[in-house]
């Protein structure tokens, strides 16, 4: 089937001398094709229009998209702003550090980042906290024999991120419900009526924020308790310029959001790749047997190169964050083009992650490209996490939990004499935006 583009929109138009991709629908623009078929849309636009073109994101407007590898450097450019993120998703990301620039961004980030570095994660014993939760989950998969993978990894990741925050497990079901409603804000049409996603999403956000505000108060009252929220509250309160509780609450909510869908999708793709490539599974089992136990500290991750390569290659081929929005504050040179001040920009991480200019045989899933490399990881090798001042805070955490998960899965399934098997078509129903993920329906058997 051809792409979800409007056959009636065939006009060739220019904005600021840059071509607009034809095929936009009224109101939703190119969103149907962006959500369901982004790689093909980008390739076709590059092939027919060149490296710079406008995509129509419906309610979020047109963003000038550049598929040239130079676009990656925009993420470090001093004249490029992240405030467009708040304009696009004010309900969900307004007031959070991902949408801020300069001093305000630095102040909020500084209060959080230490807890997410290898030292902070090891000191807080995060690996020990996660290992039994992951092991119990893969054990349950083995007992059940088959699972709907994305639902399962979504549940598991929510459990992990809540335990990281120090949110009691008994409260999880209530949070689960509210969290799902909160996510509706991403796609909610701007109509505020009872029963519609916008109203429900806002109510869920208010509920979550009220709970988080209580956690912040509790953290201040019993400063000795552990959990990331406590660490963040102490760091915020220690700062010279104390930030308001609203800022703190919005950023804790950001962490819950940022650390969930992305990791659930990556973990699901890892299992899918292991199921469809028996050689990968065999290599992982061999490594898991050699190390013998799930690693719990960052220094131990070096013992698991196959699991690490699997994490990096899965993200390279299936990046969870596909597009990053920015705005040019001044006129810029981008590749061969001058971009006027004020231009809204789209940096297509997905396209760069699978570009032949950056990787040999980019469409092939090859652990060897990581296992055989001798030079250290460069920013462009982990571009799926962004770069520059907004580079993902969760990178080391994701690395830890993905390696833990791989080793736990291999040990548990191998002990039971089973391996993962794909029970449905992997490519059908995948989505690329706002975050990318495999189809919700994909089932994996263990036999």
Whole-number Cα distances in Å, 331 to 342, 344, 379: 8, 12, 25
What minimum distance in Å lies between the beta carbon of 44 and ligand HEM?
A: 24
* Closer residue to ligand HEM, CB minimum distance, 5 or 402: 402
Residue 392 labelled as part of a binding site:
yes
20-79 residues near ligand HEM, rule: CB under 6 A: 75
Contact 337, 18 (CB under 8 A): yes
d(CA 271, CA 367): 15
DSSP secondary structure letters along 198-217: HHHHHHHHHHHHHHHHHHHH
Q: Which stretch binds ligand HEM (CB under 6 A): 10-18, 121-129, 181-189, 254-262?
A: 254-262
Is 263 a binder of ligand HEM (CB under 6 A)?
yes
Q: Which stretch binds ligand HEM (CB under 6 A): 58-66, 237-245, 388-396, 420-428?
A: 388-396
Per-residue contact flags (x/-) with ligand HEM for residues 107 to 126, judged by CB under 6 A: --x-----------------
What minimum distance in Å lies between the beta carbon of 359 and ligand HEM?
A: 17
Contact 339, 332 (CB under 8 A): yes
d(CA 36, CA 57): 13
Residue of 396, 225, 223, 364 lying closest to 298 (CA atoms): 396
> By rule CB under 6 A, what count of residues binds ligand HEM?
24
Angle ∠(278,281,285) on CA atoms, nearest 5: 140
Is 397 a binder of ligand HEM (CB under 6 A)?
yes
3-state secondary structure of 66: strand
Beta strands in 110-261 (DSSP E): 146-148
What minimum distance in Å lies between the beta carbon of 105 and ligand HEM?
A: 6
What minimum distance in Å lies between the beta carbon of 167 and ligand HEM?
A: 13
288-327 residues near ligand HEM, rule: CB under 6 A: 320-321, 324
Letter string b/e over residues 199-231, b meaning 16 or more CB atoms within 10 A of that residue's CB: bbbbebbebbbebbeebbebbeeeeeeebbbbb
| Options 21, 37, 82, 411; binder of ligand HEM; rule CB under 6 A | 82
Residues that bind ligand HEM (CB under 6 A): 75, 82, 97-98, 109, 254-255, 258-259, 262-263, 266, 320-321, 324, 384-386, 390, 392-394, 397-398
> Which residues make up each annotated binding site for heme?
392
């Amino acid at each position: 089937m051809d792409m979800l583009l409007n056959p009636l929109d065939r006009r060739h138009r220019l904005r600021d001398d840059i071509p607009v991709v034809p095929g936009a629908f009224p109101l939703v623009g190119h969103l149907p094709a962006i959500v369901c078929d982004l790689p093909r849309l980008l390739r076709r636009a590059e092939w027919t229009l060149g490296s710079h073109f406008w995509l129509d994101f419906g309610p979020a407007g047109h963003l000038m998209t550049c598929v040239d590898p130079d676009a990656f450097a925009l993420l470090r450019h001093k004249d490029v702003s992240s405030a467009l993120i708040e304009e696009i998703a004010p309900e969900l990301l307004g007031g959070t550090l991902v949408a801020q620039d300069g001093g305000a961004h630095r102040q909020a980030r500084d209060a959080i980042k230490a807890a997410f570095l290898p030292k902070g994660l090891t000191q807080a014993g995060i690996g020990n906290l996660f290992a039994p939760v992951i092991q119990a989950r893969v054990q349950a998969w083995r007992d059940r024999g088959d699972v709907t993978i994305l639902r399962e990894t979504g549940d598991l990741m929510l459990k992990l991120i809540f335990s990281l925050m120090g949110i009691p497990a008994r409260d999880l079901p209530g949070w689960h419900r509210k969290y799902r409603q909160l996510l509706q804000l991403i796609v909610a049409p701007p109509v505020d009526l009872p029963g519609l996603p916008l109203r429900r999403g806002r109510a869920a956000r208010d509920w979550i924020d009220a709970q988080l505000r209580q956690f912040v108060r509790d953290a201040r009252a019993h400063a000795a308790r552990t959990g990331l929220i406590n660490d963040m509250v102490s760091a915020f309160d220690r700062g010279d310029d104390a930030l308001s509780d609203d800022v703190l609450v919005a950023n804790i909510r950001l962490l819950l959001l940022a650390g969930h869908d992305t990791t659930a999708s990556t973990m699901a793709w890892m299992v899918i790749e292991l199921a469809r490539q028996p050689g990968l599974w065999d290599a992982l089992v061999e490594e898991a047997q050699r190390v013998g136990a799930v690693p719990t500290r960052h220094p131990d991750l070096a013992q698991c190169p196959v699991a690490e390569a699997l994490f990096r290659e899965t993200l390279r081929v299936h990046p969870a964050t596909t597009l990053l929005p920015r705005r040019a504050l001044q006129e810029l040179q981008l590749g061969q083009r001058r971009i006027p001040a004020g231009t809204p920009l789209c940096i297509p991480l997905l396209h760069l992650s699978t570009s032949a200019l950056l990787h040999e045989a980019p469409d092939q899933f090859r652990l060897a490209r990581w296992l055989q490399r001798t030079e250290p990881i460069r920013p462009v090798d982990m571009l799926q996490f962004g770069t520059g001042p907004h580079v993902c805070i969760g990178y080391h955490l994701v690395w830890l939990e993905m390696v833990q998960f791989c080793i736990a899965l291999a040990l548990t399934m191998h002990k039971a004499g089973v391996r993962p098997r794909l029970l449905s078509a992997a490519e059908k129903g995948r989505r690329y935006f706002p975050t990318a993920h495999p189809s919700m329906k994909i089932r994996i058997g263990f036999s």
